[in-house]
């Protein structure tokens, strides 16, 4: 897996966010085991303490659970809880700025939605 770490955010936080994204995307489902701390540390060439800190945040948020001697597992209802909290966070933190920018640019939401899918695949212009 190719990883580019962002210098503005702690690596443990970025790792936590990657696991959250995997849960939201359905890559990790309830009951699935997370890769071991040692495996993640080796794969990404980071300190195992960094991985442990990321995993502990997920435990603290009740998204994963520790099973003694077995590892970490995605909890039942983790995806639903994440969807709710991420939607609330988006509406509280990201939407106001996005909405303000749309207004500054004079873009109507219906007009913007009508453009979805009009670009050619691979078009980056």
Q: What is the pLDDT along the chain (125 residues), one digit of tens a residue?
A: 557 898 999 999 999 999 999 999 999 999 999 999 999 999 999 999 999 999 999 999 999 999 999 999 999 999 999 999 999 999 999 999 999 999 999 988 888 888 887 765 555 54
Using DSSP, state whether 104 is helix, strand or coil.
Answer: helix
Tell me the β-bridge partners of 66. Answer: 72
pLDDT of residue 58: 97
- For the chain, helix, strand, coil in percent to 5 are 55, 5, 40
């Amino acid at each position: 897996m190719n990883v580019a770490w962002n210098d503005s955010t702690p690596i443990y936080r970025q790792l936590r966010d990657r696991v959250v994204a995997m849960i939201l995307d359905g890559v990790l489902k309830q009951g699935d085991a997370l890769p071991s701390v040692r495996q993640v540390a080796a794969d990404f060439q980071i300190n195992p303490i960094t991985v442990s800190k990321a995993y502990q945040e997920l435990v603290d948020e009740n998204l994963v659970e520790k099973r003694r001697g077995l590892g970490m597992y995605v909890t039942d209802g983790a995806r639903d809880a994440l969807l709710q909290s991420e939607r609330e966070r988006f509406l509280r933190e990201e939407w106001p700025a996005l909405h303000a920018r749309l207004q500054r640019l004079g873009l109507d939401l219906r007009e913007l939605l009508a453009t979805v899918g009009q670009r050619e695949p691979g078009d980056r212009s």
